[in-house]
Amino acid sequence: MVNLKAHILAGGTLPAKLNLALAAGLTLPMLSLLGYAPGAREPHTLQALTVAYCLLPCALKALAAGTLYIFNIQPRIQLKAL
């Protein structure tokens, strides 16, 4: 029998993991476009690093929350008797 609690937990953690993966996948190319090089200490490169690692994940989470709000996603649990 399928464990419903495990599916709910997996469904809840998958979006968070995808969010972090997407943020990392977007961050590294964005940093290279902004001229960041490892070990750089110039203010504009440190600001790019701050934006990439702080604001981008927050923006993606806000986008996900807005999507949930707009589409009013609610769980649908249907239990069928065997």
Domains of the chain: which residue ranges? Answer: 4-71
Distances in Å between the alpha carbon of 20 and those of 4, 14, 15, 72? 25, 10, 9, 23
pTM tops 0.85:
no
- Provide the H-helix boundaries in the chain: 4-33, 43-50, 56-71
Hey, what amino acid is at 7? H
Q: pLDDT digits over 10-62, tens only?
A: 777 888 888 778 777 877 888 888 778 888 888 888 888 888 888 877 887 89
Higher-pLDDT residue of 77 and 45 is 45
Q: pLDDT digits over 43-55, tens only?
A: 888 888 888 888 8
Q: Is the pLDDT of residue 81 over 70?
A: no
Q: How many other C-beta atoms are found inside a 10 Å radius of the C-beta of residue 34?
A: 14
| 82: confidence class by pLDDT, cuts 50, 70, 90 | low
Q: Is the pLDDT of residue 2 over 70?
A: no
Distances in Å between the alpha carbon of 53 and those of 1, 2, 21, 48? 42, 38, 12, 9
